[in-house]
Structure 1
Amino acid sequence: MKWKLTNRFLMTIMTIIFIVIIVNLVLLVGLLYWQSNKSTTNDSVNDEVFTRDFKQYISTEQNVPNVNDAGLSLLTAHNAWIQILDSNGTVVTSYFAPSEAPSHYRPIDIVQHYKYQEYDTGTTVYVSNKDDFSYLIGIFNPDVSRYTLSLNGSSIINVTSKYVLYIIIVDLIIALFAGLMFGSILTKPLYVMIDSIQQLKNRNFHLQKVKRPGIYKQVFTNLQDVSSELEKQENEHKKLEQMRNEWISNISHDMKTPLASIQGYAELLNDADVSDVERKEYAEVIERKSVYMRELIDDFNLTMKLRQHKLPLQLTEVRIEKLLRDLVINVLNDPQFTMSHVHFESTASELVLTVDEHLMQRAITNFLMNALIHNPGDTQVTVALTEVDRRVMIEIRDNGRGMSQEDVENVFERYYRGSNTTNVRGTGLGTAIARDIIIAHGGEVSIESEIGNGTTVKIRI
């Protein structure tokens, strides 16, 4: 896998280098062509045109050529001089010519002066004719130079092709070493990335930290975040699985006890010697145990539906103060809690909520019953209703024994029993169901508690 990535990267680099070379050659040819075209429009060509057109300023009087005033002005403007020759090459007329200019030219001299710069640097000589006369115009222009170049076509092609081949070979070698170097730099983090993903697949969440992630920094950051999140979920899953196993164990034990009672008392009912009073007592025990088992199964089904959001809410408008007041009264009317100290406070008497009244009663009753059942009989419990920031706030406060921080963190977990619930009957789902009911209504619930200083349940909707 490592070499596959490296080879692919090298092929990419070498392809790019090769394309760059081809493009460079095309650009070079294009520039040369453009330069050759440009040279046809430079000052040199302008001076050639000036020389050919200058014949219009030459006139002949008594077989002697002369330059008129307009021509002289142009010569001055172009920083130029002129020599007019007869058919024998003898200078018959001259204007502004340098002192070293000859007075007679052989044909070879004219060619020599035209091809090469024979005068001071910057002066170029051009040749033209008018009737039977020839003339030389020398123009001083440092930007113009004339060079003679001898070329052998076959030799140029051979040399050029040879050097182009050398350049391509050298460039490919450079590309190979550059590709190996940069490929190693860029692909090394990829190997770590692949190993990290493999570790996550194998549920190993302690990933290797990369010292120089380079351009992959964001990728490794995301991998670390994913690893942390997966580790957290894995721990929560193990914790939930442990709780579920414990709950199944407890629920199995709780089911066995009433089933054993039901079976035992059913056998006693078949005994002919059992009196009617005893028979009635046995039937009541069987009924009570059956009700407990039904409640256990109902709670299990309810918590599963709430967990999967498959429980439809029967929403109605409810005056929340009346709901809470009736709830407190019903609890105090229970013979078990007749002597309990429960107080009700409200500052939102007309507040109306759209809720499932039955489920909301069950949720709040659960928190209130917990405050009464898990605390001494003289515990003071307060149910308070207020409106804070346009949200309903329901608080259930007590000054009982309180809970440890571990219990507070886990009290809403399904199948969890707190350290202060030993030998207390129940399915272990009540608090989780109450929390899910509040959430299903778009609310939230939190618990604050400290051992020895009581507990406060806060419900916000």
Structure 2
Amino acid sequence: MTPRRFFRRYFLTGIGLILLFLVANLTMMLGLGALLNEISPFRVPMEELAALVQTRDGRCQVQQQEMEALLAQNDLPWAMVLAPDGAIAWSHALPAAADHPYTAADIARMSRWYLEDYPVVVRTLADGSLLVVACNKDRVLRVGLSTMMTYRELWATLYGCLAIFGANLLLVVALFWRSLRRMEKSAAPLLQGVGRLAAGRPTDLPETGELGPVQAALNRVSAQMARRDAARAEWINGISHDVRTPLAVMLGYAGTLEADPALPAAAREQAGMIRAQGERLRRLISDLNLASQLEYSMQPLQWRHLDPAELAREVLSDLLNAGLPEQYSLELQLTGREDTMEGDPALLARALENLVRNSIAHNPGGCTVRVTVDRRPEACVFTVQDDGVGIGPAVLEQINAGRFDGLRRGGQGGHGFGLRLVAGIARAHGGRMVCRPAQPTGLEVELDLPAARPAEET
């Protein structure tokens, strides 16, 4: 569906709603008119009354009995005939306050308004005389200059207008609610799909409804991202596999040369440096591969109940047994209650080892690395702190924001694979990694992990 066709549909929908309002209001107005007709609208029979009055040569003759009967039948309290000069030529039940000659201004005023609180109707006779008929002031009122109606008609009209207004309001609310529900039904999958794409997860949206073309486009973007991510993961796995064999050969020969007593001490030292850098390269490749697997959810976690204190002890013991230069020292501090947690022991050990090695690698002058395990009822917090050179505020902000590319620490270049891997392991366990400056100098990295497995992993 093209954008023009998409918006044209909404334009036609708007036209349809306007027509619906017009038809609904016309129907309600016709219904109100029919209701008022059922009430028998008020009417003064002026033609019949005028036919009962004969005026000739200034004299007025009225069929008295018929006039009185017709007035009583229509609930008309009194009537009079005014001569052309304003004098009263004839009257019936005329109030005393109205029994006086009338000027042209008086006649104009009462024909458009009231006479002694009575709404009156006037009719001109053949010789210029004026027939004035009063209506019941307790039953009839004047609406405008030339319209009269009973109180019953007035209330029916007011209630009818209120009913029409209420019906229009309900119609607007119903149409708005229907449009909102339709939009929500169409937009909810779209918003969920955008959220999944923002989180780096694939999406498969239904390509139907008003937003079907947009959802189809998001599906295509998701498929392209999935293919790109798969190609990237395959390339990383391939590189790791291709490098593993020659690297193992290089490490083997370097180890042999380092242990050969026939070689000079300087050559054996150089062979040891080659072996150490090879070991570092192997760890970096392993970190890259594992970080890629965690990022694309290709590394399933092996959940186990474990003792976090024992885990930290094992990591530090392995590092000490592997040989630690004299300028570095490792400390372990345990706080909180003795308790276990749920997690992947291998991944958590890898995270702690990476953090300790990170402190060692970026402080060539030596430092003290303290690992703290704080066991709480709902969480377990691992803290790795050193008193080395630390990290600048800008880099700390970059790390805490999850941007690990191009990191530099202590003036040395860094690619961020180690910290990226630690952050990925923390996220996989439902926790987070936070870096902050240590006091007085150095870096403090905190892994805040839930003590129990997340509900969606159970």
Q: TM-score, normalized by length of structure 1?
A: 0.43
Larger Rg: 1
Which structure has more RCO (C-alpha within 8 Å, separation ≥ 6)?
1
Q: TM-score, normalized by length of structure 2?
A: 0.44
